[in-house]
Structure 1
Amino acid sequence: MSTTILERVKALSCTDLSDAMDRLGIPCQCAGIMPIDRSFRLAGRAWTLRYGPVGQDPGTVGDYIDDLDADTVIVLDNNGRVDATVWGDLLTSTATSRKIAGTVIDGVCRDIDRIVELSYPIFSRGNWMRTGKDRVRVEATQVPVSIGGIRVEPGDWIKGDGDGVVVIPAARVEEVLAAAEEIHAAEDAIREAVEGGKSLRQARIDWGYHKLQTRR
């Protein structure tokens, strides 16, 4: 059986993918978006939602989660706001039961005790207790959004680990994975050579380390 794209994404680290996309000239690193717990990992395709501030019509924070498929990564663009959350314990419980892959927020979440208890992967700018109800509203779903300065389109591939979050454009996923797998293999070979007694300097030369991330 051939390895699926999801399995290949899961097998790579954010650093592998970041280096590959640096080589390919693809902006991908979501600045300031980190896991609530450094052990959290996620991988999957993006389902996107963009929030905005309330106006005369207060709108809603959204009842979207019941309609999402398992293995989806929920991507919430709250414009980087850290004064009003868009994710709490009820969403965490529901997402866990529906086997959602995880949530990425350009903003904050709350109820992190529940997040940690259920080991539900959330990547955000932090956490705070203040509700987003009557402070933010859904502007659109399944539209391009911005997460940590990086554009995310519906269906893009998302990878998160202890180093943060990267976005793989769906149209270039095969190209990115091939480059990332090459980089991963080279660094494994360098590590093995060093453990076998070779100097790091020579191992890097042998495997072209200094050009692994260089634009081609």
Structure 2
Amino acid sequence: MSEARNSAASSDVLVEAFKALDSAGVSDAMDKLGLEAGCHGIKPVVHGVKFAGRAFTVKYRACGVVERGTVGDFLDDVPAGHVIVIDNAGRTDCTVWGDIMTTLASRMDVAGTVIDGVCRDVPKIRELAYPVFSRDYYMMTGKDRVELEALNVPVNVANRQVRPGDIVLGDDSGVVVVPASRAEEVLAIAREIEHTEQEILKRIAKGQTLREARAELQYHALQTPKEAKA
């Protein structure tokens, strides 16, 4: 990757901050704000990899009978550090991601790929430890079955709307989507939650009971919206 792409990928302060968090803490923070976060059913193909980045969204549709479009040529246009978010309407009968795209995305320093659908060529994904999160994997090609409908438009992933520029974070627990307009709020609360959980662990290590530590630090209300606690 060129120095220019490296610089662009590392200059997003918010994204860099979210990389230090996990999906569980971010999900709890969004619960506290009354925001839906998790992409249910979207799971990692490779365990032990993590990503955070701005969404580059891709929407597919079923091919027409006469004219049929392309599948993955958009990859040339994805900025380094972004997360490719693909809406294939949850289809599990044909793939929209394989070994060529995995190889190129890895070389381009794309942060990861989230698919409401399936991928294939799993050995290459695992060999490169490239972060792909999808409903499943299946070998049947999407060529002549689906075509590109639009790029960088709002898309749907597991009943979560994802807009271009939203922050997407994934780890072994799954994927969360943080609306760009609320990212700073979510970050601040997620950091508070992380601090509290670490403090509980410290107190337990010193001999305090879990019940006592949680009660003193109000653990059970960390994710509860303020109006619900009133």
TM-score range, shorter chain: over 0.9
- Alignment equivalent of 1:37, drawn from 9, 34, 46: 46
Q: In structure 2, what is the equivalent of residue 201 of structure 1?
A: 211
Matched residue SS, 1:80? coil
- Alignment equivalent of 1:5, drawn from 4, 10, 14: 14
Matched residue SS, 2:52? strand
Q: In structure 1, what is the equivalent of residue 26 of structure 2?
A: 17
Structure 1 runs, 4 residues or longer, greater than 3 Å off: none
Q: How does 1:1-216 map to 2 (within 5 A)?
A: 4-56=13-65, 57-216=67-226
What is the TM-score when the length of structure 2 is the normalising length?
0.91
Offset, 1:7 = 1.9
Offset, 1:148 = 1.1
Matched residue SS, 2:130? coil
Partners of 1:147 and 1:66 in 2: CA distance: 22
> Share of identical aligned residues, percent?
51
Offset, 1:3 = 9.3
Partners of 2:183 and 2:119 in 1: CA distance: 29
Matched residue SS, 1:205? helix
Give CA deviations for 1:156-193 in whole Å, capped at 9, x if unaligned: 00000000000000001000000100001001100111
How many pairs are equivalent? 215
Partners of 2:37 and 2:88 in 1: CA distance: 19
What is the TM-score when the length of structure 1 is the normalising length?
0.97
Offset, 1:42 = 1.0
Partners of 1:192 and 1:86 in 2: CA distance: 45
Judge conservation of contact 2:75–2:101 (CA < 8 Å) in 1: yes
Matched residue SS, 1:8? helix
Offset, 1:4 = 2.0
Give CA deviations for 1:88-127 in whole Å, capped at 9, x if unaligned: 0000010011110010000000001000111110000111
Judge conservation of contact 2:72–2:96 (CA < 8 Å) in 1: no
Gapped runs of 5+ residues in structure 2? 1-10
Partners of 2:14 and 2:206 in 1: CA distance: 33
User: Aligned-pair RMSD on alpha carbons?
Assistant: 1.2
Partners of 1:54 and 1:36 in 2: CA distance: 27
Counterpart amino acid of residue 120 in structure 2: R
Matched residue SS, 1:15? helix
Partners of 2:40 and 2:125 in 1: CA distance: 22
